[in-house]
Amino acid sequence: MSSHYEAPIRRPLIIGDKNYHDISVDVAAPVEGKANKLWWIAFSIALTAFLWGIGCIVYTIGTGIGVWGLNKTVGWAWDITNFVWWVGIGHAGTLISAVLLLFRQKWRMGINRSAEAMTIFSVIQAGLFPVIHMGRVWNAHFVLPLPNQFGTLWTNFNSPLLWDVFAISTYLSVSLVFWWTGLLPDFAMLRDRAIRPFQKKIYGLLSFGWTGRAKDWQRFEEVSLVLAGLATPLVLSVHTIVSFDFATSVIPGWHTTIFPPYFVAGAVFSGFAMVNTLLIIMRKVSNLEAYITKQHIELMNIVIMITGSIVGCAYITELFIAWYSGVEYEQYAFLNRATGPYWWAYLFMMSCNVFSPQFMWFKRLRTSITFSFIISIVVNIGMWFERFVIIVTSLHRDYLPSSWTMFSPTFVDIGIFIGTIGFFFVLFLLYARTFPVIAQAEVKSILKASGEKYKKLRDGNHE
Amino acid sequence: MSNKVVQAMYNDDDILMDAVKEVRAANYHIEEVYTPFPVHGLDKAMGLKGTRIAITAFMYGCVGLVFSVWMMNYMMIEQWPQDIGGKPSFAFIQNMPAFVPIMFEMTVFFAAHLMVITFYMRSRLWPFKEAENPDPRTTDDMFVMEVIVDGNEDELIAFLEKTGTVEIKVTEKH
C-alpha cells in the first residue's frame, strides 16, 4: 500500500467499495446489456436530424451554394461558424487526455475516453464544412499537393485554408490513433469477457490481440506519454491555424494578433462545456456515477471558469486595442458589434461567455449538477454566437459603405447545422453502447491511490 | 529441452510486485508477466530494459520536418516561384513564416503516426492478431507471472506458493 500513498486532502475519485473486477463489470455493463427505449428514442431523433442534414447537403451540392443565405459581401457565415464551433468542441478531448496526462491529473481517467470520442466525432462534423462550403466539391482533392497532368500544378502554401487542411487532417488522424491505442486494453477486457462468439470475434478484431505483457505496458505508457506530448502542441496549433483564417486577413475585426490564444481558450471553454453536457447525462444513464463523480464535474467547471475568464479578458483586450489603435475602421467594427444590427448576437455572446462562467466562483453552484448542466449548454450557445459575431459582423460592414449589407440564414444553412448535431449524436450514441466508455485499465491503476475504500483504509477510518 | 513454464497467478498488484522481486532474487527466470493494467515499477522490478520508442518518435519528427521543408521549397520556390499576393518567393527563407504551420503539422504527423506504427509492429499488434494471454482473467483482475522450469519443478512450485499466489498452473510453452 505504501506505493499508493496519496495526500489525505485529496478526495476520492472512485466512489464506493470497488475492486478491480467491479470496474470491469461496471464498464462492460452498457456494452453487454441491451439498449433501452430511451436510447432508441434518442437515436431515432439524432438519426432523423442526420438524414435531414444529408438532404440539405445534397440539395446544396446539387443546386449550388446560392441556396444558402450568403451574399457577395458575406461569403462566410454559418458554414465557417459551425466549422470553428465544432473544431473548438473537439479540443477539450485532447486537452483532457493529453494536457491533463502531462500534468499527471488523475481525475482525467474517468472522463478521457468519452472526451476523446467527443473530439473524434466533432472533428468529423467540422471536417464536413470545409468540403461542403466549396462551390465545386468535386474538385476538393485539388487542395492536396498531388502530382498531376497539369504540368504538376501544386497548391499555394501561403493560404491558411490549406494550413487548415493539414491541421485538421493531422489532428483527426493523431487523435484517432491516440484514442485507439488507449482502447486496446479495454477492448481486450471486453473480448475476454464476451460470451457470444460474434462479440468475441468483433472485440478480438478491435483489440488487435492485446495481451497485456509487461513489455507491452511499458511501451504503451511511453507511447501514450509521447503522444500526449505531441498532441498538446498539436491542439494549440490546430485552433491557432483555424484562427489564422481570420487573423491573417486584412478585415477590421479579424486582423488581430490575439486570435490564436483567444480562439484556443474559447475552444477549451466550449469543449469542456460539451464534455460536461454529455457526461452529466452519461454518468446517469450508464450507471457510472462511481467513476464520473461530482468532483469531476466540479473540476471541469473550474476549467470552464478559468478559460471563460481568459476569453472575457480577450474581449476586453480587443475593445481596448480597438480604442487605443486610433484606426477608425477598427473602432467602427467594435461599435458596430455593440450597437449595430447584430447587437443582440453580441449581447448573447457577452452574457453567455463572460458572465455565465463567473457563477462557478460559488461552490454551491459549481457543485450543483443541474446548474452545471444548464451552464454547459449556455456556454456552447455563447460560443456559437462568438464565432458568428466575429465572422458576420466583421464582414457585413467593412471598408466600403457601398458594400454594406446584412446576412440571414436560409433553412438549408440551419438544416445542415442541425444535421451535423444529429450526426454527432448518432456517432456518440452508438459509441456509448459499443465502446468501453471509461478507460478501465487506467481507472484500475488509480484505484488504490484514489479509491474511496482504499483511502478510508489508509486514513485509519477517522470519519 | 522442455519448454515447461509455471504460471503463478496473483490477484493483487502489490503482492505481484513483491513476488517478482523474490523470484528474481532467487535467480529464477521470469519469462513473462501479464497484467490487466499498467503496474508502475513492474518493468524495473523485472529488470526490463527501457523502451526506445520515444527516440524513434524524435527521429520520425525530424524526417517530417525535413520532408515538409523540401516539399514546400520545391513547389513554392524552385518549380513555380510565382507572385501570390506579393509574397516573396525568391528564397525559402523570405517566405518561411508562411510555411511554419505546415512544417509544424508535418513534424507532428510523422512523429505520431510512425511511432504508433512502430509500437504496433514491435509489440505485434494488428487487427487479426490472436490474443496470447494465458488466462482471460488477465485483462480483468488477475496478474500472471510465467516462470521457466529449469531444474527442479517441485522446488520452484513450492517456492512460488509462498509468494502469495492464488493459483498455479504448469504448461508447455509453444
> A interface mutation test: which of B40, B80, B116, B128 has the most A CBs within 10 A?
B116
State which residue of chain A sits closest to B82, comparing Cα positions.
A156
Contact A193 B136 (CB under 8 A): yes
Whether this model's pTM surpasses 0.90: yes
CA distances from A158 to A154, A163, A252, B79, B83 (A): 12, 8, 21, 15, 11
Question: Does the structure show a pLDDT above 80 at A4?
Answer: no
pLDDT digit string, tens, across residues A41-57: 999 999 999 999 999 99
Greatest CA separation found in chain A? Answer: 79
Q: What is the mean pLDDT of chain B?
A: 90
pLDDT digit string, tens, across residues A130-189: 999 999 999 999 999 999 999 889 999 999 999 999 999 999 999 999 999 999 999 999
Section B121-132 average pLDDT: 91
H or E element, residue B9: strand B4-10
Instruction: Enumerate the H helices of chain B as residue ranges.
Output: 13-25, 42-46, 53-72, 96-122, 153-161
Residues of A in contact with B138 (CB under 8 A): 192, 211-212
pLDDT digit string, tens, across residues B27-82: 888 888 999 999 988 989 888 899 999 999 999 999 999 999 999 999 999 999 99
Query: Would an 8 Å CB–CB cutoff place A193 in contact with chain B?
Result: yes
Parallel, antiparallel or unpaired: strands B30-34 and B167-172: unpaired
Q: How far apart are CA B144 and CA B7, in angstroms?
A: 6
Q: For residue A3, what pLDDT band results from cuts at 50, 70 and 90?
A: low
Question: Does the structure show a pLDDT above 60 at A461?
Answer: no
pLDDT of residue A451: 86
pLDDT digit string, tens, across residues B92-121: 999 999 999 999 999 999 999 999 999 999
List A residues 82-101 in contact with B (Cβ-Cβ < 8 A): none
- Geometric angle at alpha carbon B99, from B102 and A122, rounded to 5°: 30
Residues of A in contact with B85 (CB under 8 A): 158
Residues of B in contact with A19 (CB under 8 A): 141
The Cα of A189 is separated from the nearest Cα of chain B by a number of Å equal to 5
**Exposed, middle or buried: residue A364 (CB in 10 Å: 0-12, 13-18, 19+)?**
exposed
Contact B101 A445 (CB under 8 A): no
Contact B125 A205 (CB under 8 A): no
Q: How far apart are CA A266 and CA A269, in angstroms?
A: 5
In chain B, what percentage of residues exceed pLDDT 90?
53
pLDDT of residue A463: 45
pLDDT of residue B31: 87
Question: Does the structure show a pLDDT above 80 at A1?
Answer: no
Q: How far apart are CA A255 and CA A265, in angstroms?
A: 18
Residues of B in contact with A234 (CB under 8 A): 105, 108, 112
Residues of A in contact with B32 (CB under 8 A): 213-214
pLDDT of residue A417: 96
Give per-residue burial for A84-112: e unless 16+ CB within 10 Å, then b: bbbbbbbbbbbbbbbbbbeeeebbbbbbb
Question: Does the structure show a pLDDT above 90 at A454?
Answer: no
Query: Would an 8 Å CB–CB cutoff place A381 in contact with chain B?
Result: no
Name which of A331-345, A356-370, A385-399, B153-167 the model is least confident about: B153-167
pLDDT digit string, tens, across residues A299-351: 999 999 999 999 999 999 999 999 999 999 999 999 999 999 999 999 999 99
- Cell numbers for A179, please give them: 484514442
pLDDT of residue A245: 94
Contact A223 B116 (CB under 8 A): yes
Q: For residue B2, what pLDDT band results from cuts at 50, 70 and 90?
A: low
